[in-house]
Structure 1
Amino acid sequence: MEEHKFSIGQEFPDVKAFRNAIKEAAIAQHFELRVVKSDLIRYIAKCSFGDCPWRIRAVKISNSPIFTVRSLEPTHTCGCNAQNAHNQASVDWIVSFIEERLRDNINYKPKDISHDIQKQYGITIPYKQAWRARERGLAAIYGSSEEGYFLLPSFCDQIKKSNPGTVAEVYTDCADDRFQRLFVFFYASIYGFLNGCLPVIGLGGLQLKNKYLGTLLVATSFDADGGLFPLAFAVVDMENDESWIWFLSELHKALEMNTQCIPQFAFLSDGSKGIADALKTKFPSSFHAVCMRHLTDSIGKEFNDSRLVHALWQAASATTVVSFKEKMAEIEDISSEAAKWLQEFPPHSWALLYFQGIRYGHFSSNVEEFNIWITEACELPVIQVIEKIYNKLTTMFEERHSKSKSWTSVLAPFAEKRIEEAIKLTSSYQVLQSDEFEFEVISAERSDIVNIGTHCCSCRYWQLYQIPCSHAVAALLSCKKDPYALTVKYFTVESYRETYLPKLHPIPGKIELKRSGESLVNEDIQVVRPPKFRRPPGRPEKKRICTDDINREKHVVRCSRCNQTGHYKTTCKAESAERI
C-alpha cells in the first residue's frame, strides 16, 4: 500500500488532510492509532499496540496552512493485526468513504456500505454505524430535512419565476407554521396534458421515507404513444379523504385556469373511498374506474389462484356481452367465493365493456410506473424530492421531443402498429357495402357490422379503443378512405410533439435558495417548520398505509361442507371427525 506510506518532509494541504491520511493509513494497514497530541499546529501519533515503535510527528509550516512530516519511525513490530473492528473507522470516516458513491447512487444501502468497506479494508463495521454514516452523508450532499422545509417558500417562488404558469404552493398549520401540504404542477405538464395527452388520469400515492415521512400524491396521464406523463404531485403529511379532496381541488383549479372548458376525464385509481368521493365532488362530470393492476393484485392475494387473475383480466378486456359473461362464469367455476368477493366492485367500475367513459384501452393507471421512476428520491428531504422529479421531467421532455423528430408517420408508434396489424388481417375479409356508411365485414369466424360515419363496429373495439379495428379498416379501405385519418387525434405524432413542445427552465440551486431564504428571514414571509411526525425506529413499511385499508373489513372465508367460517372445504376437519 504505497499510497498509505509516509516520509519525512512529506506535505499535506492542512491539518484536516493530514488527519484523514493518517486515519486512512491506520485502517488500511490494520493497526490501531493512538493520538498523543493533536491541535492546529502539530500532530503526534503512535501505534497503540504495546511496545510497537511506530510513531509520527507533523507540524504546521509558519505562515501557511501546510502540514509537513518532521519525524517518523515507520517500523511496526505489532504485526499490524488489528481485529475486524477498527477504532478509526468512525462515522465521519465512513462518510468520507461513501460520499461520492452516495452522490452517484442514492440507493447505496448500509449493507452495501459494510460490504464495500470489508472488501476494500478487511474490517467489519456495524450495520447501525453504516446507517448513521449514510444518513449523515445524505444530509451533507442534499441538506437536512429541516433545511428543506425552511427553503420551501423560496423554492416555490423560484419555480414560479423560472417557469411562468407553474403552480407551486406550500401550506402550513396556522397555529405553529408546521408543514402540512405542498402542491406542484409545472406549466410544461399543464400545457402538454391539455394539448396532447389522452384525457385519462391516474391517481395514487407513494410513501416517503425521509425523517418526517409523509405521502407523495400523484396524478399521471398517457402520451400519444402510451408513455407515462407525470402531471401534478403533492406532498401531504397524511393520506386520507381530506388530503385527496384538497389535491383534486388544486388539480381542478390549475386545469381550470388554463382551459376554457375542462373535458370529461377518465380517472384510474385503487378505488379507495377517499378518491371516489373526492372525484364526485371536484370532477362530477368525469368517470372513475378501478385500476386493474390493483384489482388483480387484490384478488390474487386474497385467493392465491393465478387462474382467477387471468380470467379477471380477460373479463375486463372483453368487448362483447357474451365474452364478458363467459369469463365471469369461468371465475364462478374457479371460486364461488371469489365471484362473491368481486361483486363488491360493480362491472362499470372496472370492465372496459361497461365503463361509461372512454379509457382508450388503458386498464391500469401508470402511477406504479411513476413510483418506480422516482422511488430513489423517497428518502431525501422534501425539496430534493421535487428537484428529482423536475430533473427527470426535464430529461424526459428533451429526449421524447428529440425522438419524435425522426417519426415520419401520421400516428405515434403504438397506434401505428395497431393499424398495421389490422391492415394485415383485412386480406382474409369479405366486405359488403350496404350504403354510404354501413358495411358488413365477413371473416372465417364471424360477421361484423361497421358504420364509418359513427365510428362504430359490432365488435366494439373501435368505440372502446378509439382506433379502427380490423373490420373498420377493411371497410375503410374498400371505399378508399384512410384509416389513419379516422383515428382520434390523441394518437397522432402531432399530438405527441405538442405534448413535449414546452421547455422546463432551470431552477436555482440550493446555494441561491439559501441566499434568498437568508435575505428574507427578517421580513414578513412564510415560515415553514417541519411537521410533528417523525420516522419511527425500525424497518419502514414497504407499502404506504391508507386509511381505507386500516378500516376495511377483512374477507371472511366460509367452508362449503360444514358452513363454518375460518377455513375452506379442502382444510375442513368435519369429515375426518365423522370418520373417527
Structure 2
Amino acid sequence: MKEHKCHLSSHQGYRAKKIAENLAKGSEMDQYNKLSQYINEIERSNPGSIVIMKLVDNYCDAVTGQGKFQRLYMCFAWVKQGFLAAYRLVFGVDGTILKGSAGGVLLTAIGVDANNGMYPIAYAATKGETKDSWIWFLTLLKEDLKIGRDYEWTIMSDKQKGICEVVFSNATHRFCVKHMHSNMSSAGFKGAAIRKALWKAAKATTPIQFRRRMEAIAELDTEAAKWLDDKDPAEWSRSHFSTYPKCDMLLNNICESFNNKILDAREE
C-alpha cells in the first residue's frame, strides 16, 4: 500500500482473493453443476462404488432447469471391501462443518481396523445436520454394508444416540467419555476430583470394580452419582461393554482425528 499509495481494507482484500480463487479453481457454486459428471466418472473408474445424490423435492431452476442440491452420499468400492474383509464391529459417527462459501455439513462414519487404526468408511455432504439427514445417511450405510444382525454392532457417537437407534435399533450405543464429562461439567459437577473419578469408573473392567468406583464418586458428590445413574454403564464403561466388537475405546477420537486430517479440504 505504501508503494502504490493506496488503501486496501480487509474486506476488499477478501473479495479480491475470492475473485482470484474463482479464476484459478472455478466458482464453488459452479462445481455443484458438475456433480452428475463427477458421479458418472466415479462409477466408471471405481465399479461397485455407491454414490447417491438427493435433490430438493419439487424444485427446478427456472433458468437452468436443474434441481437444487440437498445431500450426497459416497462410499468407494475398495474401501468398503477392505473394511468388510477385516473389520471390527464398531464405527464412530460425527458431523463437521464445511467452511466454504456454500456451507453445509459433512457426516462421517469411521471404522476401526485390526490395528485399532482409523478407517474411513463412508461420508455424506448435506445442507445441515438434521435428524432427517442423519437417518438418510445411516440408512444408506446400513444397506451398503449389508448389516443384518445389527445387535452385533457398536456405534460410538457424541450425541446421536436417539437418531442411531432409529436405524440401528438393536445395536449397542457408546458415548464418548470426554463429551460426557463436558456435559457433566455443564450440569454443575466440576473439578479435577470428579473428572478423575469419572475416568476411573469408565476404565473399570469388571462390574464389581465399576460399582466400587461409582461409590467413590458418591462419596465426592452424591448428586453427581445420581446424574451418572441415569446413564447406562454399557454406553460408557468398559466393565459393561459388549464383547462383539473386540474394542474397548472410550473416546470418539477416530472421528475427531479424521476431521482434523481433512481440515484444509473443509476450508475450500
Give TM-score scaled by structure 2 length: 0.86
- Kept after mapping to 1: 8 A contact 2:241/2:248: no
Alignment counterpart, residue 237 of structure 1, candidates 127, 133, 151:
127
1:335 offset after TM fit, Å?
A: 2.8
Say yes or no: does 1:297 pair with 2:182: yes
Greater relative contact order (CA < 8 Å, ≥ 6 in sequence): 2
> Does the C-alpha gap of structure 1 residues 371 and 31 become closer, same or farther in structure 2, counting only changes over 3 Å?
closer
Question: Which runs of at least 4 in structure 1 moved beyond 6 Å after TM superposition?
Answer: 259-263
- Kept after mapping to 2: 8 A contact 1:199/1:263: no
1:151 offset after TM fit, Å?
A: 0.9
Structure 2: segments with no counterpart, 5+ residues: 60-66
Alignment counterpart, residue 349 of structure 1, candidates 213, 227, 235:
235
Please name the residue that 2:195 is paired with: 309
1:223 offset after TM fit, Å?
A: 1.3
Please name the residue that 1:372 is paired with: 260
- Indicate the percent of aligned positions where both proteins have the same amino acid: 30
SS in 2 for 1:213: coil
Alignment counterpart, residue 270 of structure 1, candidates 158, 176, 182:
158
Please name the residue that 1:145 is paired with: 28
Question: What is the identity, as a one-letter code, of the residue corresponding to 1:288?
Answer: H
Please name the residue that 1:337 is paired with: 223
Alignment counterpart, residue 204 of structure 2, candidates 311, 315, 318:
318
> Does the C-alpha gap of structure 1 residues 127 and 304 become closer, same or farther in structure 2, counting only changes over 3 Å?
farther
Please name the residue that 2:47 is paired with: 164
**After the TM superposition, which residues 85-484 of structure 1 pair with which residues of structure 2 at under 5 Å, given as runs?**
86=6, 125-176=8-59, 177-256=67-146, 264-272=152-160, 276-302=161-187, 303-359=189-245, 360-365=247-252, 366-380=254-268
SS in 1 for 2:47: coil
Q: Partners of 1:305 and 1:152 in 2: how far apart?
A: 50
> Does the C-alpha gap of structure 1 residues 263 and 187 become closer, same or farther in structure 2, counting only changes over 3 Å?
farther
Question: What is the identity, as a one-letter code, of the residue corresponding to 2:174?
Answer: A
Question: What is the identity, as a one-letter code, of the residue corresponding to 1:324?
Answer: F
1:278 offset after TM fit, Å?
A: 3.8
Q: Partners of 1:241 and 1:262 in 2: how far apart?
A: 20
1:173 offset after TM fit, Å?
A: 1.2
**After the TM superposition, which residues 25-104 of structure 1 pair with which residues of structure 2 at under 5 Å, given as runs?**
30-32=2-4, 82=5, 86=6
1:263 offset after TM fit, Å?
A: 7.9
User: 1:161-188: CA deviations, max 9, x gaps?
Assistant: 1111111111101311211110001112
- Kept after mapping to 2: 8 A contact 1:299/1:308: no
SS in 2 for 1:353: helix
SS in 2 for 1:271: coil
Question: What is the identity, as a one-letter code, of the residue corresponding to 2:28?
Answer: S
Q: Partners of 2:84 and 2:56 in 1: how far apart?
A: 33
Aligned pairs, number = 258
User: 1:156-213: CA deviations, max 9, x gaps?
Assistant: 1111111111111111013112111100011122111111121111011001122222
Q: Partners of 1:166 and 1:134 in 2: how far apart?
A: 36
> Does the C-alpha gap of structure 1 residues 306 and 141 become closer, same or farther in structure 2, counting only changes over 3 Å?
farther
> Does the C-alpha gap of structure 1 residues 212 and 128 become closer, same or farther in structure 2, counting only changes over 3 Å?
same
Q: Partners of 1:232 and 1:134 in 2: how far apart?
A: 33
Q: Partners of 2:169 and 2:119 in 1: how far apart?
A: 23
> Does the C-alpha gap of structure 1 residues 314 and 260 become closer, same or farther in structure 2, counting only changes over 3 Å?
closer
1:127 offset after TM fit, Å?
A: 2.5
Q: Partners of 1:150 and 1:278 in 2: how far apart?
A: 31
Question: What is the identity, as a one-letter code, of the residue corresponding to 1:361?
Answer: D
- Kept after mapping to 1: 8 A contact 2:201/2:210: yes
SS in 2 for 1:284: coil
Give TM-score scaled by structure 1 length: 0.42
- Of the two, which has the highest radius of gyration? 1
Q: Partners of 2:13 and 2:225 in 1: how far apart?
A: 50
Please name the residue that 2:63 is paired with: none
Structure 1: segments with no counterpart, 5+ residues: 1-26, 33-81, 88-124, 381-580
User: 1:27-50: CA deviations, max 9, x gaps?
Assistant: 6xx454xxxxxxxxxxxxxxxxxx
- Kept after mapping to 2: 8 A contact 1:255/1:262: no
CA RMSD of the aligned region, Å?
2.3
Q: Partners of 1:295 and 1:170 in 2: how far apart?
A: 34
> Does the C-alpha gap of structure 1 residues 315 and 171 become closer, same or farther in structure 2, counting only changes over 3 Å?
same
